[in-house]
Amino acid sequence: MKLLKLKLLVFALIVFAAGSAFASYSYEVTVNTSSVSGDSGLIYMNYFNAGGSTSTATVSGFTADATTSLGLQDTGDVMNGAQVVGTLPSNVAFTSTRSASNPNNDYLQAITLGSSTSFLVSFSGPATTATTNPSAASTFSLGFITDTGSWNNIFPPTVSGSNGELFDITLNDGGATFTTTYGGPVTLAQTPIPPSALLFGSSLIGLIGVRRRLKN
Single out the residue of 20, 26, 46, 116 in contact with another protein (rule: CB under 8 A).
46
User: What does R_g of the chain's alpha carbons equal in angstroms?
Assistant: 20
Q: Burial, 28: exposed, middle or buried (Cβ in 10 Å; 0-12, 13-18, 19+)?
A: middle
Start-to-end CA span in the chain (Å): 14
CA atoms of 135 and 144, how far apart (whole Å): 28
Q: Is residue 184 involved in binding another protein (CB under 8 A)?
A: no
Cβ distance 169 to 179 under 8 Å?
yes
What CA dihedral angle connects 194, 197, 203 and 204, to 10 degrees?
Answer: -150
Query: Which residue from 54, 101, 53, 56 is spatially nearest to 79, judged by alpha carbons?
Result: 101
Single out the residue of 63, 69, 131, 135 in contact with another protein (rule: CB under 8 A).
135
Amino acid residing at 112: T
User: How many chain residues bind another protein (CB under 8 A)?
Assistant: 35
Single out the residue of 11, 37, 39, 98 in contact with another protein (rule: CB under 8 A).
98
- Contact pattern for another protein over residues 47 through 76, marking x by CB under 8 A: -x-xx-------------------------
- Among 60-68, 82-90, 117-125, 144-152, which window interacts with another protein (CB under 8 A)? 144-152
- Among 13-21, 63-71, 113-121, 134-142, which window interacts with another protein (CB under 8 A)? 134-142
Cβ distance 25 to 189 under 8 Å?
no
Q: Is residue 194 involved in binding another protein (CB under 8 A)?
A: no
Q: Is residue 209 involved in binding another protein (CB under 8 A)?
A: no
Q: Is residue 79 involved in binding another protein (CB under 8 A)?
A: yes
Strand 116-124 with 106-112, pairing = unpaired
Distance of closest approach, residue 23 Cβ to another protein, in angstroms: 18
Half-sphere exposure of 108 (CA within 13 A, CB side): 19
Distance of closest approach, residue 193 Cβ to another protein, in angstroms: 23
Distance of closest approach, residue 44 Cβ to another protein, in angstroms: 8
Which residues sit at the interface with another protein, rule CB under 8 A? 46, 48, 50-51, 79, 98-104, 134-137, 139, 141, 145, 148, 150-152, 161-165, 168, 170, 172, 174, 176, 178, 180
